Structure 1
Amino acid sequence: MATGRRRIRPLVLTGALTLVLAVVGAGLWLINRPSSLSEEDTEAAPWEGRGQVRLMLAGDSMTHGADGDRTWRYHLWNHLEPHVEGLDFVGPFSAPATPEQIVPPELFGNEPTPGAPEGDPEGVEYLDPDFDQDHNARWGRTLADASTTITRDVAVYRPDVLCVMIGINDLLHPITAEEMEGRLRAYVAGARSASPKIRILFAEAPPTVIADQDQGFALRLYVYNELVRELSAELSTPESPVVSFDLAGAEKWDVETDTYDGTHPDDSGEIKIAAGFADALSREFGLGPGYPRPLPIAPAEAGGEGTAAP
């Protein structure tokens, strides 16, 4: 991780979480899914000659980033932009998170700053601003919340592809499999109601330190990712493909070296997320090339974290 940077450290939620999961039949998780869509399953992506390709990167704090981060959005933009004509990242926000967005004053019994902006605030900046900063991610956002705004966001910003990594915040509290499924279905349906031909790419939620500390959370995370895989296969249509990919498995995600607090990506984690999305966009939708390998991550020192290579 770059030295001398200002980093806002969020609270790491720990402690036992009560497990409330619906009883799931043994066959629920055994639905097979092809690794990618065949030519018969989906129309060819009409990228060439379009003049513009609009991507909306949506999610929670792992996509939003904090003051002083590059974010994985930076790495994905700089990978895709030379190869995709008219690439445009779109969304209602452009700034990283402020301290108040990361740790709300109400949490400590304080009042919010009068007149604090709800949109993109001043006083926060990226470590490197050289990318299209538009996005649709908010610190602490749940899938339940995102499902209520996605129709409006897609209608206004008209993305061709919706790249989504979300769900961790929904799992911090007791939730049933049926509730998880309902939120995923509502999100897809909401996006499609504004754009019937939208393409949706889901990253499975990566593990966090909480999964090592709380068995209930770990089980909820497992169930959620199974649902992401199953529902992506079920809901996908030739007109509006929905696909998912296993970010943690594909990129050998390591909570100790790829995050700075057990959840949020550090420099190496940002590159791994960008690489996972780039590979999936290329493989599933023919959008740009896969991310170059080996990844430009310096080896982690003993007890330290991997960093982006210069």
Structure 2
Amino acid sequence: MLRRIFSCCLAGALTALALVAAPSAAQAGAPSAPPKIMLFGDSLTQGFNGDWTWRYRVWQSLTEAGQAFDFVGPRNDVVEYTTWKLDSQGYRNPAFDRDHASLAGMKFMSGYYQLASLARSYRPDVVVGLIGVNDLLAGTSVADLEAHWREQIAQARNVDRGVDVVLVPIPETWAAGVVDYNAMLGRLAADLDTATERVTLAPLASLSMWSDTFDYLHPTASGQRKIAASVEGGLAQLGIGSGSAAMAADPADDHQWAPVPSVTVAGGAITVAWSAVTYASSENVWLHDLTAGTSGVQRYVKDTSTTFQGVAGHQYSIWLVPVKGYGAMDTSSLPVEVTA
């Protein structure tokens, strides 16, 4: 972390006696540059449109705690969920430092981005690496991934002396090979960690497959918070943040991330229609019978319309909840009221 300040120590050893009387930059009160942090990974890190992303959560928590830092990397986008198009800026809240070095679908062994070239271009003080699940799902062995980590860290250190690395365990422990991979990361950190070039292991984010992911792999809003807490724990080991800062509550739902329903009534048939969106794969369509005090829902509607059979004279309130995979997003449309 502080290698920029002390990088000249060895070169200046022979003239140390002549410099004894000179105040150091720290003694003189000269501010040091905020640490540059590069978030390196795949779709778990990049995220999708309509997501907060765990990157936002880390930024939010560190910023609110007063920690100065700078995210760096070649990208600042998320992926469109239904099309997998890159370069989307469809963050749930785009008002944060969005720079990163992650790419959806990327494998660690053969990915488009490699640590050595990233380190050469962006000179990060810290690399946060959450990657490898795509390799494991494709059958790559843990031994091969360990060898690649060793090679990549050595190359990054060669071009960017003093770079620190935070290894983030893959949180989807139910996926094949993940438990062994995470254990390997712990051994790797213990083996490669030095006083001047740290390698730390972040705590494991304990995700629930059903509530913290929306497709057995990618995190929901709750999963993103848990991964962010894991990353903060790793950064705290390097003196960046406390690792225990509480993340602020989200603002009230502004209903902007749910399509607006339109409703038509023909006899007792109530037809609900909406525009297609790229951030959700289906919609949960809720219908509350205000007259009877009962509710119903049609789940995972992949079309852009559906029909309910209402009761003549009954008043209904209807709203939409967008769904990624099997996970309902933490937003909804404003309700529309009609009478059958």
TM-score between both structures, scaled by the size of structure 2: 0.61
Residue 51 (structure 1) shift: 3.0
1:232 is aligned, of 185, 189, 208, to 189
Aligned to 1:174: 139
1:63 is aligned, of 24, 27, 45, to 45
What aligned pairs does 1:70-149 form with structure 2 within 5 A after superposition? 70-84=52-66, 86-98=68-80, 102=84, 121=87, 123-146=88-111, 149=114
Secondary structure of 2:219's partner? Answer: coil
Which ranges in structure 2 are unaligned for 5 or more consecutive residues? Answer: 1-25, 251-325, 332-340
Q: Structure 1 199/147 Cα, relative in aligned 2: closer, same or farther at 3 Å?
A: farther
Write out per-residue CA displacement over residues 214-254 of structure 1, whole angstroms, 9 at most, x where no aligned residue: xxx2xx22221111110111011111010112323xxx321
Aligned residues of 2:35 and 2:69 also touching (Cα < 8 A) = yes
Q: Structure 1 98/305 Cα, relative in aligned 2: closer, same or farther at 3 Å?
A: closer
Aligned to 2:33: 51
1:245 corresponds to 2:202: yes
TM-score between both structures, scaled by the size of structure 1: 0.66
Measured in 1, the distance between the counterparts of 2:39 and 2:124 equals 9
Q: How many residues are treated as equivalent by the alignment?
A: 228
Residue 180 (structure 1) shift: 2.0
Measured in 2, the distance between the counterparts of 1:208 and 1:295 equals 27
Residue 306 (structure 1) shift: 9.2
Read off the aligned partner of 2:157 and give its amino acid letter: R
Measured in 2, the distance between the counterparts of 1:85 and 1:246 equals 20
Aligned residues of 2:61 and 2:247 also touching (Cα < 8 A) = no
More helix by share: 1
More strand by share: 2
Read off the aligned partner of 1:91 and give its amino acid letter: G
Q: Structure 1 147/93 Cα, relative in aligned 2: closer, same or farther at 3 Å?
A: closer
Aligned to 1:151: 116
1:258 corresponds to 2:212: yes
Moved more, 157-166 or 79-88: 79-88
Q: Structure 1 100/136 Cα, relative in aligned 2: closer, same or farther at 3 Å?
A: farther
Measured in 2, the distance between the counterparts of 1:87 and 1:173 equals 35
Measured in 2, the distance between the counterparts of 1:255 and 1:125 equals 25
Measured in 1, the distance between the counterparts of 2:157 and 2:118 equals 11
Residue 292 (structure 1) shift: 3.3
What aligned pairs does 1:182-221 form with structure 2 within 5 A after superposition? 182-207=147-172, 211=175, 217=176, 220-221=177-178
Aligned to 1:222: 179
Residue 84 (structure 1) shift: 4.9
Measured in 2, the distance between the counterparts of 1:253 and 1:226 equals 17
Read off the aligned partner of 1:73 and give its amino acid letter: R
Aligned to 2:245: 292
Q: Structure 1 67/188 Cα, relative in aligned 2: closer, same or farther at 3 Å?
A: same
Read off the aligned partner of 2:214 and give its amino acid letter: Y
Q: Structure 1 64/101 Cα, relative in aligned 2: closer, same or farther at 3 Å?
A: farther
Name the % identity. 31
Measured in 2, the distance between the counterparts of 1:90 and 1:101 equals 26
Residue 280 (structure 1) shift: 2.4
Aligned residues of 1:93 and 1:135 also touching (Cα < 8 A) = yes
Q: Structure 1 195/294 Cα, relative in aligned 2: closer, same or farther at 3 Å?
A: closer
Which ranges in structure 1 are unaligned for 5 or more consecutive residues? Answer: 1-45, 104-119, 212-216, 298-302
1:281 corresponds to 2:239: no
Secondary structure of 1:190's partner? Answer: helix
Structure (1 or 2) with the larger CA radius of gyration: 2
Aligned residues of 1:61 and 1:138 also touching (Cα < 8 A) = yes
Q: Structure 1 129/247 Cα, relative in aligned 2: closer, same or farther at 3 Å?
A: same
